[in-house]
Structure 1
């Protein structure tokens, strides 16, 4: 039997992907995906990582808070109570303190989602690849072979 949360996530993901084909073109000519619909259902259990992004209402895009899930972006209603609770003590686009060190060993099985980000070495931060896990972020050595293999099939954000 199909879980209603999975169906909702699939629908939200399809809406985001569908928006890529919409008319939201940036000045540089590249299309940027956006949310054309939001959910107010409590999807907090599906959210991974500690970051989110705010999206303004610029048609066809609607005002939204965008979270990462292991299935892709989740477009949430900024007025939903669970969204307010989840974002209350966080700042959009800001990651908890940078990676002062990278993990030892292969943590590939802990990684969720299809995106990663790079962190430059700016003391006290070290050069790192940052993945989402169910428990937050994972700081990995960009020179480790497992990291290179994993990022080859992921999208940099």
Structure 2
């Protein structure tokens, strides 16, 4: 039996109730179901792994995106005003460590999340407006050569996995 590559997947996409509101973003996807059956999926929630509770206050990135947070030019803030950047950076570092330990080269992360958004995130105004940008975990993974896809790009991730 040949070794099958593992895939890092946001835990909320797998039905785990780890989102800020205690909910999930469970998917119904044949490819993901097959990967789960094959034992290829490694679930992670960067916020939970960093020590944040579920449920927790909503958070958004102010002053940029995940790249800017990692560079100290932006911050992740709760709707209460509390700066939680350190939790988001710690969660991103834990996700990267997991990828490096297990030689994971592909991640499927929840779009729009301040951790996991791969092409869009909320704009920091807590008014449900989105902007182009990456979350903190997506940015750190990409900076380290890991391909990051959203839950809307599973076919592209599958194709990349074969390459």
- TM-score bucket of the superposed structures, by smaller chain: under 0.3
Q: TM-score, normalised by structure 1?
A: 0.23
Pick the structure with more helix per residue: 2
Between Structure 1 and Structure 2, whose CA radius of gyration is higher? 1
Pick the structure with more strand per residue: 1
Q: TM-score, normalised by structure 2?
A: 0.23
Greater length-normalized contact order (CA 8 Å, ≥ 6 residues apart): 2
